[in-house]
Structure 1
Amino acid sequence: MLVVGFPTGAFQANCFLVAPANGGPCVIIDPGQDAEEPIADALREHKLSPVAVLLTHGHLDHVFSVTPVCDGNDVPAWIHPDDRYMLSDPLRGLSRETAAFFGGLQLREPREVREMTDGVELDLAGLKMTVDHTPGHTEGSVVFRSATEEGGQLLFAGDTLFAGSIGRTDLPGGSMDRMTESLRTKILTLDDETVVLPGHGGATTIGRERVSNPFLTGMVDLSDPSSAHRGRGRGI
């Protein structure tokens, strides 16, 4: 499996191109701000042809370039229905300060948008990706699981899980209670060897996070309304 990743825009959100190998179809995950040019460069370098764009959630730093990337390559965007509204009204999902940073920005949906829900297995570009709905950072946050030819598993985690942290829950649509449930039922149930490719920062593994991530090792505290961690995760 080929995975090409790079950070994009002011918030350094990770964008990924995933394909079975060089010289064939691929999917693009989370084309953020200023992602068009590096995506085009990677497509040329690896001789890839995109067939779809997959979105882990609707926040602006992950969807900023989705419409030009989708419409420019005549491919659909896949998103959970609970976050679809942010494709055309992205400022609704941001804090007041971040929304002010982007001013009166207006976006529109790609020409073709498809909705995905929990447990769906997407068969795209010769890849099988399982969708797990992980609300908490946003109402429609998802992660994508994909097996490698070597027998391993990749988790494209968006802003649900990071190396040493989790997604913040204090933005519109966020919920620490739902994040706690997502982490318990969708993240901590995965094998320790699962490689995590998060929406910001570097790669990690489930095993590493299970024993070192304070948001996971302290799951009891996570569910406590007085927890000092409440709402302090990463992401915009």
Structure 2
Amino acid sequence: MLVAGFPVGALQANCFLLAPAEDADCVIIDAGQDAVDPIEEALAKHRLTPVAVLLTHGHFDHVFSAAQICRSYGVPAWIHPEDRAMLSDPASALGPQAAALFGGRVDMAEPEEVRELADGDVLDLAGLSFTVDHTPGHTRGSVCFRTTTEEGGSLLFSGDTLFAGSIGRTDLPGGDSEEIMRSLKEKILPLHDDTVVLPGHGPASTIGRERVTNPFLAGGGAAFPTRGM
């Protein structure tokens, strides 16, 4: 499996491209702010053809370039229905303080074709299989995507639900601290320790490492983490 990841935009959200190999179809996860050029560079470098854009949640730093990428390549975007409205009204999810950083508005448009995700969905795309876990808490429509490699390894694209050493903030509209802890307990912590976590911001980790070292999963830490938008 080919996994190409890179941070984009002012908030350095991670964007990922996944394909069975070079010179093949691929899936893009979280086409965020200023992601068009690096995505096109990665597509050219690895000779990939996108077939879909998967979105872990609706915050602008993860979806800003989705409409342009979808239009350019004629592919759909996938998002949970609870977050779909953010594709065309991103400021509604920022809160007054965050929205003020952008003059009170962020201009975006919904991709021409949007398909809605549901908990437990299995998406067969680009020769790969993705299982969808609805993990509300950071936003109402936050999801994680699970897939496996040919060698038998497991990957979790956790969006802003889980980071290396932290979890997603819950103080923006749609956030809920009890919900995110429930999502982590019921959907994330049961995964195998060797599962590689590829989060929406920051470095990769594993479920085993986070189970032991992440202060929020151990019951400590602040009530409102501030990483991620």
Q: TM-score range by the shorter chain?
A: over 0.9
Instruction: Give yes or no for contact 1:159–1:235 (8 Å, CA) kept in 2.
Output: yes
Tell me how far apart the structure 1 counterparts of residues 168 and 183 of structure 2 sit (CA, whole Å). 11
- Of the three residues 189, 213, 225, the one matched with 1:232 is 225
Question: What letter is aligned with 1:127?
Answer: L
Q: 1:233: how far off?
A: 4.1
Tell me how far apart the structure 1 counterparts of residues 107 and 32 of structure 2 sit (CA, whole Å). 15
| 1:217 aligned counterpart, secondary structure | coil
Tell me how far apart the structure 1 counterparts of residues 184 and 141 of structure 2 sit (CA, whole Å). 15
Q: 1:95: how far off?
A: 2.7
Equivalent runs, 1:1-236 vs 2, <5 Å:
1-103=1-103, 104-218=105-219, 229-236=222-229
Tell me how far apart the structure 1 counterparts of residues 52 and 146 of structure 2 sit (CA, whole Å). 16
Question: What letter is aligned with 2:3?
Answer: V
Moved more, 158-167 or 92-101: 92-101
Tell me how far apart the structure 1 counterparts of residues 92 and 115 of structure 2 sit (CA, whole Å). 21
Q: 1:106: how far off?
A: 1.9
Question: What letter is aligned with 1:22?
Answer: E
Question: What letter is aligned with 1:230?
Answer: A
Q: 1:105: how far off?
A: 2.3
**Root-mean-square deviation (Å):** 0.9
Instruction: Give yes or no for contact 1:119–1:132 (8 Å, CA) kept in 2.
Output: yes
Tell me how far apart the structure 2 counterparts of residues 105 and 112 of structure 1 sit (CA, whole Å). 21
| 1:123 aligned counterpart, secondary structure | strand
Question: What letter is aligned with 1:172?
Answer: P
Question: What letter is aligned with 1:2?
Answer: L
Tell me how far apart the structure 2 counterparts of residues 200 and 105 of structure 1 sit (CA, whole Å). 21
| 1:33 aligned counterpart, secondary structure | coil
Structure 1 spans left out of the alignment, 5+ residues:
222-227
Question: What letter is aligned with 1:63?
Answer: V
Instruction: Give yes or no for contact 1:165–1:233 (8 Å, CA) kept in 2.
Output: no
- Of all paired residues, the percent bearing the same amino acid is 66
Deviation per CA, 1:134-163: give whole Å up to 9, x if none. 000000000000011111100000000000
Tell me how far apart the structure 1 counterparts of residues 41 and 2 of structure 2 sit (CA, whole Å). 15
TM-score (ref. length: structure 1): 0.95
Question: What letter is aligned with 1:232?
Answer: P
Instruction: Give yes or no for contact 1:54–1:79 (8 Å, CA) kept in 2.
Output: yes
Instruction: Give yes or no for contact 1:53–1:66 (8 Å, CA) kept in 2.
Output: yes
- Residue of structure 2 in register with 1:224 after alignment: none
Question: What letter is aligned with 2:133?
Answer: D
| 1:52 aligned counterpart, secondary structure | strand
Tell me how far apart the structure 2 counterparts of residues 233 and 189 of structure 1 sit (CA, whole Å). 25
| 1:99 aligned counterpart, secondary structure | helix
Runs of 4+ in structure 1 deviating by more than 6 angstroms, as ranges, are none
Question: Aligned residue pairs: how many?
Answer: 228
- Residue of structure 2 in register with 1:225 after alignment: none
Question: What letter is aligned with 1:70?
Answer: C
Deviation per CA, 1:145-197: give whole Å up to 9, x if none. 00111111000000000000000001000001100110000010000000000
Tell me how far apart the structure 2 counterparts of residues 232 and 42 of structure 1 sit (CA, whole Å). 32
